[in-house]
Amino acid sequence: MEEQKASLEEIHFHLSTIQSIVDRLASNSANAKSWAVALVSGITAFLVESEELKSFFIMLIPLLSLCYIDSYYLALERKFRKIYTRAVKAYQEGQLSKEFLYHLEPERVFLRDVICAAKSHSVWPFYFLVILVPVLFYILSNLGSRPHGSTP
């Protein structure tokens, strides 16, 4: 049985659908970063007031969770970009069938994909700085409040 070729309208719809999925994943990634900034701002303000280090460690749990979620979204976005690239390549080669158009399931995202995404320049520098800022606030606030001659 011969495969039916996809029409230009169907191809355009397919590529638009993939692009909208990628856009939503990018938006979710940005939301994770927004939550991380809000979390760190609140915890840093609390840290400066209370001078308790355990608050910082408590903050790390949701912050690392947000980093994982952000990295997962980036890894998933890369999988959908592969689908997009394959569709464009198949179209250019004249081999884009209707059957191909209705397959939008990305490859499975493994932990190694998430770790690779976490190494991205859009993830690790952000979360490194977000963790570093409260640490610096804590150190600087405790240096100024410690009496001279006392040991930490």
Helices (H), 51-123: 53-92, 98-101, 111-118
Name the token pair of 139: 């150190």
Taking every pair of Cα atoms in the chain, the longest distance, rounded to a whole number of angstroms, is 88
Model confidence over 18-71: pLDDT tens digits?
Answer: 999 999 999 999 999 999 999 888 877 776 676 666 667 777 888 899 999 999
Query: Where are the chain's structural domains?
Result: 8-144
What pLDDT digit, counting tens, does each position of 135-145 carry?
787 777 777 66
pTM score, whole prediction: 0.81
CA 83 to chain CA mean position, Å: 19
Half-sphere exposure of 110 (CA within 13 A, CB side): 2
